[in-house]
Amino acid sequence: MWFLLFPAMFPVTKEISYEELKALVGKSPKLILIDVRSEEEVAKGHIPGSINIPRKSVLYFLIYIYIIYTQRPLHVCSGDCGFSCSVIYVMFSIFASSLIPSVSTVEGALKMDPDEFKVRYGVTKPQLDAPELVFHCQIGKRGAMATTKAHELGYVNARNYAGAYSEWSKKEGK
């Protein structure tokens, strides 16, 4: 429930229900459904027709929040060098990605040249006024963050499927 600590960082986004999304999947040529889960999560199942553009790990976000809001250095000490090295890598990734947007992020993808986007994801890049642009994740939080980012970039109709893949898989019996 860490997101409750900083509610202003999670503005309310437009949402779409299971029933609304179900009516569009496989039927609407205008639907652009972006799955922001990791490749590992997607490999276990996905909503038909979705394209995978992973959002950065929540761990990256938590470390970023800690550093920004506490204004204190983050010290990591463990008996296992692997964990310490992972945290250092994550910290480097946060600051490096703020300088150079990665194409494996929603923001990086939405800023791509349309031809590049088509080659990488196999679909036409959504227009800023795309009527049926929907983001989703596993439980709804990463999808909400991706939807917020899309709104910041000018995608005025972007919506979050708040029920996320967890709801979809239950209702679809998968």
List the chain domain ranges.
14-55+105-174, 57-102
Name the range with the highest mean pLDDT among 31-45, 76-90, 91-105.
Answer: 31-45
Overall average pLDDT of the 21-36 stretch: 93
> Between these two residues, 55 and 11, which has the higher pLDDT value?
55
Q: Is 137 a catalytic residue?
A: yes
Q: How far apart are CA 174 and CA 87, in angstroms?
A: 34
Fold (CATH) for 14-55+105-174: Oxidized Rhodanese; domain 1 (3.40.250)
CA atoms within 13 A on the CB side of 113: 3
The pLDDT value recorded for residue 1 is 39
Q: Which of 77, 81, 85, 137 is catalytic?
A: 137
Which helix H or strand E contains 51, and what residues bound it? strand 51-52
Overall average pLDDT of the 121-125 stretch: 89
pLDDT of residue 71 exceeding 80, the answer is no
pTM, 2 dp: 0.69
Which helix H or strand E contains 116, and what residues bound it? helix 114-121
Q: How far apart are CA 72 and CA 63, in angstroms?
A: 11
Q: How far apart are CA 132 and CA 92, in angstroms?
A: 35
The pLDDT value recorded for residue 107 is 83
Q: How far apart are CA 46 and CA 4, in angstroms?
A: 28
Overall average pLDDT of the 131-148 stretch: 90
The pLDDT value recorded for residue 44 is 94
pLDDT of residue 10 exceeding 60, the answer is no
Q: Are 161 and 136 in contact (CB under 8 A)?
A: yes
Share above pLDDT 90 across residues of the chain, in percent, rounded to a whole number: 37
- What are the distances in angstroms from CA 3 to CA 88, 92, 142, 154? 23, 23, 11, 24
Percentages helix, strand, coil for the chain (3-state, rounded to 5) are 50, 10, 45
Tell me phi and psi for residue 71, to 5 degrees.
55, 30
Strand arrangement of the beta sheet that strand 159-160 belongs to: 51-52, 31-35, 132-136, 159-160
